[in-house]
Structures are given as C-alpha cells and as structure tokens.
Amino acid sequence: MIHTLEPILREHPFFHGMEDRHIQLIAGCSMNVRFEAGQVLFHEGDPADHFYLVREGLVSVQVMIPHDGLTTVQTVGAGEVLGWSWLFPPYRWHFDARAQPPTHALAFDGKCLRAKCEEDHDLGYEIYKRFMQIVTGRLEATRLQLLDMYGKRA
C-alpha cells in the first residue's frame, strides 16, 4: 500500500487552510528526507532546486565571513520553512544550510512545483501568497537584527 504525504502536509502550519486539490498537487512534488547532524542541505551558489518544511530538528542558515569563519544568521526549526530561492531566477542558494541535530523534513522539488504553478495559477497564487508571508516575516526579523537592539546603543 502506498502512503502519500498528503496527511502530513495538511497538518503542517504552512499548508493550513489549503484546498485538497492543491495539497494533492503539491504532495506529488514532495518527499520525506532526513539529515544527519552536521550534514549540509545546500551550499551558497548551488542550484536551488528544493525547499524544505522542517518537521523535527534544527537547520542553521550560514554564511562564510572572511576572518570570522562560518557565521549562523538564522536557524529554522520544526514547523518552519527553509528556502525560497527555488521560486525566483536564477534559482541559486544565497546561503549555506546545515542540520544541527539529526533533522527530519519534507523536501519539495522546486522545478516540479513551478511547473504545476504555471499550469494552475490558483495553486501558484496560494503558494506565492504563503511564501510572501514567510519573506515579509524574515525581512522584518532581519531589520530587527540589523538594529542591533541589545547593543550599546539600545
């Protein structure tokens, strides 16, 4: 008997309220993945052909800074979304991502999903709407980080 990922998708906060037909389309582009502690999910500059919904564990988004070394700028935990570079050309990662503890996630094939969004613009609108919320949330958080709120000026 083949088990699909639809029930898992429906339970994930990112897909709350999405129509069943859209969940079915998305499930066709998804798979379960597991990363060992320290395993790299992707490197800066690599093709961004997936995005991930973290189910368990923690992923560090990192950037190499000369003289400072690898610096973590964000972590993505259970219930959160990792990656939106698959949505926009040139479809390349801008950061590294590394699992901290062993991490379970759902991986979504970006090319597959982009093709389905082109075919079904309702699906595309749903996906872009949800990603826009993620992107605006991250932008706001990044602005707060830039303020250095807890620094000497605070």
Partner 1 sequence: MASVLEQPEGVTAGLVPDPMLPMPYRIQRVRQETDDTFTLELHPEDSARGLSFEPGQFNMLYVFGVGEVPISISSDPDDAPLIQHTTRVVGVVTKAMRRLKHGDTMGIRGPFGSHWPVQEAAGRDVVIVAGGIGLAPLRPALYRLMAEREKYRKIVLLYGTRTPEDMLYRHELEQWRGKFDLEIQVTVDRAASSWRGNVGVVTTMIPRAPFDPSNTVAMVCGPEVMMRFTVMELLKRGVVAERTYLSIERNMKCGIGFCGHCQYGPTFICKDGPVFAFHRVAAILGKSEI
Stretch that binds partner 1, among 86-94, 95-103, 112-120, 121-129 (CB under 8 A): 95-103
Candidate list 79, 111, 121, 132; residue touching partner 1; CB under 8 A: 79
Q: What is the largest distance, in Å, between two alpha-carbon atoms of the chain?
A: 61
* Binding of partner 1 by 32 (CB under 8 A): no
17 by Cβ neighbours in 10 Å (0-12 / 13-18 / 19+) ranks as exposed
Compute the distance between CA of residue 53 and CA of residue 69 in angstroms, rounded to an integer.
Answer: 27
Count of all residues that appear for the chain in the document: 154
Residue holding tokens 């499930």?
27
Nearest approach, Cβ of residue 150 and partner 1 (Å):
3
By CB under 8 A, residue 39 contacts partner 1: no
User: Is 103 among the residues that bind partner 1 (CB under 8 A)?
Assistant: no
For residues 55 and 105, the answer to whether their CB atoms sit within 8 Å is yes
We find the least distance from the C-beta atom of residue 47 to partner 1, in angstroms, to be 23
| 3-class DSSP assignment, residue 39 | coil
Token pair 């000369």: residue: 66
Q: Amino acid identity of 108?
A: F
Position among 100, 102, 120, 135 found at the interface with partner 1 (CB under 8 A): 100
Q: How far is the CB of 10 from partner 1 (least distance, A)?
A: 18
Q: Is residue 67 within the footprint of partner 1 (CB under 8 A)?
A: no
Q: Provide the β-strand partners of residue 92.
A: 47
The verdict on 8 binding partner 1 (CB under 8 A) reads no
Please give the residue ranges that form the binding site for partner 1 (CB under 8 A). 13, 58, 60-62, 68-75, 77-80, 98, 100-101, 137, 140-141, 144-145, 147-152, 154
